[in-house]
């Protein structure tokens, strides 16, 4: 008696999945910002020795997109040079960069609502990338 194993076929290309990851990261940040704004969050932040800056939706989108694209580029580079270890290295890098992204947030003077909303954005971007960027070879 012989048996055959059917391998599942992925219907989503890696490029499409990764582009969706970048889009999800940007969308998540934008939605968090909008919900915060509707809830009355004052996005004015003051860095020591600097004038007050209001974090508007435009910069949130641009910085989220730039960060997500850099994450994608880092993963693509690691896949070329690190082979099978690329995903693990990239995940560790994502954790370190995420933790480091909180340093400026902890140093600014802002309302509690602004710090919470901005902090959640700092978590939403890497969460979307970790969920959608790595290869799914399982």
User: Is the CB of residue 113 less than 8 Å from the CB of residue 13?
Assistant: no
What percent of the chain has pLDDT above 70? Answer: 89
Supply 56's token pair.
């508007």
First-to-final CA distance of the chain: 27
Q: Give the SS3 label for residue 46.
A: strand
What is the reported pTM?
0.84
Does residue 20 register a pLDDT over 60?
yes
The per-residue pLDDT for range 43-100, each reduced to its tens digit, is 999 988 889 999 999 999 999 999 999 999 999 999 999 989 999 999 999 999 999 9
């Amino acid at each position: 008696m012989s048996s055959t194993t059917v391998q599942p076929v992925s219907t989503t290309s890696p490029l499409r999945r990764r582009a969706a990851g970048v889009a999800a990261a940007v969308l998540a940040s934008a939605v968090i910002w909008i919900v915060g704004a509707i809830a009355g969050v004052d996005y004015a932040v003051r860095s020591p020795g600097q004038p007050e800056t209001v974090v508007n939706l435009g910069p949130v989108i641009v910085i989220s997109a730039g960060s997500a694209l850099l994450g994608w580029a880092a993963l693509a580079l690691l896949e070329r040079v690190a082979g099978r270890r690329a995903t693990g290295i990239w995940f560790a890098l994502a954790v370190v960069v995420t933790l480091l992204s909180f340093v400026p947030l902890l140093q600014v003077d802002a309302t509690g609502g602004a710090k919470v909303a901005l902090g959640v954005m700092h978590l939403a971007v890497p969460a979307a990338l970790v969920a959608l960027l790595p290869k799914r070879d399982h």
